[in-house]
Amino acid sequence: MDKALDRALVWLRRDLRTDDHAALHHALRAARQVWCAFVFDTALLDPLPRQDRRVEFIRDSLVGVDAALRALAASHGVDGAGLLLRHGVAEHEITVLARQLGASAVYASHDDDPAALARDARARGLLADAGVVLHTVKDHVVFERDEVLTQGGNGYTVFTPYKKAWLQKVDHFYLSAYPVARHAAALAPLPAGSSGVPALADIGFEPSNLHQLRLPSGPAGGAELLDDFIERLDRYADTRDFPAVKGPSYLGPHLRFGTLSVRRLARLAHEQMVGGSRGAEVWLSELIWRDFYHQILHHHPHVVGHAFKPVFERVRWEHGRHADALFAAWCEGRTGVPLVDAAMHQLSQSGYMHNRLRMVAASFLCKHLGLDWRRGEAWFALHLNDFDLAANNGGWQWAASTGTDAQPWFRIFNPVTQSQKFDAQGRFIRRYLPQLARLPDELIHAPWRARPVDLAAAGVRLGHDYPEPVVDLDEARQRTLARYAVVKGAGG
């Protein structure tokens, strides 16, 4: 095949793999020589704490990507290939590298986060000044931007009709993999003097507890988790809501950083759904939610920092010293409400929080503590291994009733009944709050309701071993109804 370009560079960002990779596929087909690069972007890294599980996950995943590139090139008789690594401001580093390689084009995957769009606009300008074209393509979702629209040509703002349109449009074409391997002979050897993936210390970070958590990284780690989940997929609908049960896929970080292709996952889910699997049907719905929130971010970028429904900007959240104390209690898992506290300890210890508990914890912050959803959104953004702006923002606005397709503002999760329903035996609570372990099942969900004799028998002193609730749930509910009443008759 006669190729249009002599040299091209693939800029990896949130697509850390080599198989079914859109940008890599297009570059290999277009150019006679292709290199792949990743930039440890100081604009993103500098604000982070020096121990960050996500940075370590990315770094470890790049080791796998480097090995995969070497093997892929070697299978076509090309020795010395691999991944180029840089550390600095991404748009500057990628421009310098493209110049050094003599590349006439850079290929990358779309990223609709506003900060990423601004970065890519700067990169496009810098590259153009260097005579290099930046091509970006869809990779991170099945359907993006304007691919699924209403009959009126607008983006959907309600999930159910969006899901219906998504399912009507999806077919083999949209779910099929990009055949990277057949074009891999174009992978080029690394320039002389290229070094491998840097150690964490080389980019200014320290090891976290990622390895102790047994969260496998890279494409191989994603495949390992997927193989395990496939065996449980049929039961997903029945197990996904129970935090003490191995129900979820645990693939969040791999989707976030693209170590697994979303097309591969959606294809698997769709095929098994067509085959009658209820679990696969529910899981596919979760993947469609992910697409939904990404197209919301594209069409309505004001959701970053503002309520999707402007009327909810009228809601007045608690502020001042007392509000700060409530927020600290929530962050540190000492609200006195066991399910909420256990969820927050799970997050701080592992960077993971069960999806059901994300809803419970978020609702509690907004609708019992009366705190601005943006404070919780930022806390999750700092701590979640799988933090994704579109999904995190969508989830928080759903819980706060300020967003698209959100729960009604007068619907308030009761954390005690949620606990009784989804952790009836208190197994999850006991894992993260061992000081409550000796309480009987019927009392562990709301220890403040226990008789003093029962607390004493379990060795629990409220206010000493475990805090009293920071709010009265019933009173807090009434305050929330009053707080949100400002939107009545105003489109809320």
Active site residues: 286, 289, 317, 355, 373, 396
Cβ pair 182, 21 in contact under 8 A: no
What distance in Å separates the CA atoms of residue 427 and residue 255, rounded to the nearest whole number? 28
Helix 355-367 with 373-383: angle, nearest 10 deg: 150
Give the angle subtended at the CA of 306 by the CAs of 301 and 310, to the nearest 5°.
100
Would you say 39 and 193 are in contact if contact means Cβ atoms under 8 Å apart? no
Which of 341, 320, 359 is CA-nearest to residue 470?
341
Task: Using the structure block, give the residue that is written with the tokens 């071993």.
Answer: 465
Residues 442, 424 contacting (CB under 8 angstroms): no
DSSP string, 207-267: --STTTTT---HHHHHHHHHHHHHTTGGGHHHHTT-TTSS-S---HHHHHTTSS-HHHHHH
Kindly report the three-state secondary structure assignment for every residue of 348-383: HHHCCCCHHHHHHHHHHHHHCCCCCHHHHHHHHHHH
Q: Quickly tell me which residue has 């002979």 as its tokens.
A: 185
| Secondary structure class of 174 (helix, strand, coil) | helix
Helical segments of 82-217, H only: 90-101, 114-129, 159-169, 172-175
Q: Judging by beta carbons within 10 Å of its beta carbon (0-12, 13-18, 19+), is residue 490 exposed, middle or buried? A: exposed
Indicate the residue type of 304: V
For residues 190 and 34, the answer to whether their CB atoms sit within 8 Å is: no
Are 16 and 68 contacting, i.e. CB atoms less than 8 angstroms apart? no
Q: Are 388 and 256 in contact (CB under 8 A)?
A: yes
